[in-house]
Structure 1
Amino acid sequence: MSRVLVIGAGGVGSVAVHKMAMNADIFTHISLASRTKSKCDAIAASVKERTGVVVDTYEIDAEEVPALTRLIEKVQPALVVNLALPYQDLAIMDACLAAGVHYMDTANYEPKDEAKFEYHWQWAYQDRFKDAGLMALLGSGFDPGVTSVFTTYLKKHHFERIDTLDILDCNGGDHGQAFATNFNPEINIREVTAVARHWENGDWVETPPMSVKQSFDFEAVGPKNMYLMYHEEIESLKTHLPEIKRIRFWMTFGDEYIKHLTVLQNVGMTRIDPVKYQGVEIIPLQFLKAVLPEPASLGPTTKGKTNIGCIATGIGKDGKEKTLYIYNICDHEDAYAETGNQAVSYTTGVPAMIGAALIVKGLWRGHGVYNMEQFNPDPFMEMLNQHGLPWQVKELDGPLDF
């Protein structure tokens, strides 16, 4: 049905391209580009072996807008799927506007020199995409992405009004490493060490990073410590569903991860400002990324499951208060068997494929810049069940007691 150009050859890009190739009736031609062409070639070889589909590969610096524009014009895709680093979002949006092509990503923009990720930089493109007759879909991963769709699905089918929302992200996998991150180390550590923020009664409430901890018993994983963090879907959900009085985001971390991260912070290795070393300026966090295990390499050794979902409390369709928990459980080994990638990449790459499919099929359409919760959740939810991320809803006795 459509040609697509995927930018980014990490674990998420690998999963998305594999899943696109498994749906050749929707994605008739797939091109993959990144700064390192050999990574693209390795993914293309795996896709060819697993599915028989040929993926074209290209080398591109996504921050070079003229060069990227020329590549888009050469490939002539219906959609550019940005699975590169969040720093590159605005440049890729600029290239899509220049080439006249729809845009989609999984994570919002953040500047290189500040650990701050917010939507206002991308929302500022609203008029430019609208005037060009183009669509930009932001955040089609799991969180953000699926968690936003989970919320609108609950609102559409179960609630008259949602009052409180908690997003719970649990990775119960064990990769056997002393310290490693399950996605890009630089992005992961910037995210974890940022000031925590949640939305409550019309305002932001800030707390120091990793200072609020609760325990939760996750199905198929067990009890885990989870920490209050800021995540970008809080900003978009409070904007598009302003009825919600409180929105919080929680992510689990093991004691070993916290211990190592604390030491790295204390010795300055998580800094994002340049320091001089032997006459050369380096960014400590970027150097740390270079010596940590590549997340894509963790697939063969990672065991266990993820459990990610939303707990919503509000007034149900029957007029009574209720609390519902909607979630997905994904197995690391199953994900690796299917795509050669662990579940953290899988749970982001599959929603990226689904969001792209809904755009190119015309089921989600519009002119301007959109977040996931602005569209009908039903076709997305149906495709989650069909393509490896089945979900379930259960009623809880009451809201979280914390």
Structure 2
Amino acid sequence: MSKVLIVGAGGVGGVVTHKCAQHPEVFSEICLASRNEAKCKAIAEQLPRPIQTAQVDADSVEALVALIESFKPDILIHVALPYQDLTIMEACLQTGVPYLDTANYEHPDEAKFEYKEQWAFQDRYARAGAMATLGCGFDPGMTNIYCAYGQKNLFDEIHRIDILDANGGDHGYPFATNFNPEINIREITANGRYWEKGEWVETPPLAEKRKFDFDGIGEKDMYLLYHEELESLSQNIKGLERIRFWMTFSEKYITHLKVLENVGMTRIEPIKVEGVEISPLQFLKQVLPDPASLGPRTKGKTNIGVILDGIKDGKRRKVYIYNICDHEQCYEEVQSQAISYTTGVPAVTGAMLMLQGIWKGEGVYNVEQLDPDPFMERIGEMGLPWQMVELDPDQDPLA
């Protein structure tokens, strides 16, 4: 019986709140907080049990500490903006509350994300006897745990990892993003990047393209991106020689994105419009559909997983571990599309393991540094069952 404070009332925050509410034996009291408390109250009205709501400025350590001291949670789940990772980590450190998030810190004024600032909390968290778990969504999150599970149970050494993220859903709009448009577009328009033989290799945005036949979805075009889990996995998987991340996009999506980029709408530098400063990308976010509104419109499935290639008992081995998630089933359960669902469910599962003392430690941890087995045992019943397929080690499925 524990109290959970959830910060962030967007699409993922809604899923996290619903899933916590489904498990009163673990989450006996819930408080959902956001800058806009009306969004929290709207989510609360959907639930079968009462929860508390609160208004909080997650950019303010002082405001966060005041809320934490008032509600006295046993854990804080951060699913607000990644710009707010550092203030929320600081507030948790000052109050001794365990912290969990789903995305690494992103610089508000620069299209750049990295773990450096969050890893810098390591010594202070360790000295305080506190625990912070980073990147416990799907990717990052489940993909990291798939890799950790492979390292612990399937391989003696993993040499190559390819992370594949496919969304076969259709929301009916000409162009919309499935999570925060500002974060999503910054990620896609940045240079591609992958890790090979101890070095980072950069590519122009969306320059590397492959086809892959996804179970439950079919053949899709996918593009090489830089994604945050590459930073931690390149350090934590022993014997690793190369790791890449791929995401699918339709031709229509790519065309819209290029037009927006060509006319300057993806820029993050502020411009002045009638005396008011705003970045074109922040303006674009306001006119695009809210990702939290896509649930009732979206049909189809997602398929996200990892291909692990390495050595077991002196022989080459290659496996594909993945999850298929249905957008309509997600909406029926928690009024969300599958992108938010696949992020929110791992966060709740990780919080459960922390509260129950199964995941424990003093310091800052990426999820692949924790025991993957209890997570893999529980995640199916939480709503994200996984499958594993043996692949021919001599064939390259991405060729």
Give TM-score, length-normalised by structure 1. Answer: 0.98
Deviations 1:313-367 (A, max 9, x none): 1112x32101100000000000000000000000000001001111111100001
Partner of 1:32: 32
In 1, are the aligned partners of 2:212 and 2:397 still within 8 Å (CA)?
no
Q: 1:373 aligned to 2:396?
A: no
Q: 1:241 aligned to 2:237?
A: yes
The match for 2:352 among 349, 353, 357 is 357
Q: 1:59 aligned to 2:55?
A: yes
Secondary structure class of the residue paired with 2:42 = helix
Letter matched to residue 87 of structure 2: A
In 1, are the aligned partners of 2:15 and 2:336 still within 8 Å (CA)?
yes
Distance in 1 (alpha carbons) for counterparts of 2:178 and 2:295: 9
Deviations 1:119-143 (A, max 9, x none): 1110000011111110000000000
Secondary structure class of the residue paired with 2:185 = helix
Distance in 2 (alpha carbons) for counterparts of 1:17 and 1:344: 15
Partner of 2:180: 184
Residues 92 and 309 (structure 1 numbering): CA distance in 2 closer, same or farther, change over 3 Å? same
Distance in 2 (alpha carbons) for counterparts of 1:401 and 1:239: 24
Residue 157 (structure 1) shift:
1.4
Partner of 1:144: 140
Q: 1:84 aligned to 2:72?
A: no
Letter matched to residue 43 of structure 2: I
Specify every segment of 5 or more residues in structure 2 that has no aligned partner in the other structure, as ranges. Answer: none
Q: CA RMSD in A?
A: 0.8
Q: 1:120 aligned to 2:127?
A: no
Distance in 1 (alpha carbons) for counterparts of 2:398 and 2:292: 37
- Aligned positions of 1:206-355 closer than 5 A: 206-316=202-312, 318-355=313-350
The match for 2:397 among 392, 395, 400 is 400
Distance in 2 (alpha carbons) for counterparts of 1:238 and 1:287: 35
Residues 81 and 401 (structure 1 numbering): CA distance in 2 closer, same or farther, change over 3 Å? closer
Secondary structure class of the residue paired with 1:87 = helix
Letter matched to residue 40 of structure 2: C
Letter matched to residue 387 of structure 1: M
Residue 158 (structure 1) shift:
1.1
Percent sequence identity over aligned pairs: 60
Distance in 2 (alpha carbons) for counterparts of 1:401 and 1:223: 12
The structure 1 segments of at least 4 consecutive aligned residues displaced by more than 2 Å after TM superposition are 398-402
In 1, are the aligned partners of 2:211 and 2:398 still within 8 Å (CA)?
no
Q: 1:93 aligned to 2:86?
A: no
- Aligned positions of 1:151-166 closer than 5 A: 151-166=147-162
Secondary structure class of the residue paired with 1:14 = helix
Secondary structure class of the residue paired with 1:3 = strand
Distance in 2 (alpha carbons) for counterparts of 1:53 and 1:167: 38
In 1, are the aligned partners of 2:157 and 2:238 still within 8 Å (CA)?
no
Letter matched to residue 9 of structure 2: A
Aligned residues: 397
Residue 401 (structure 1) shift:
4.7
Letter matched to residue 62 of structure 2: P
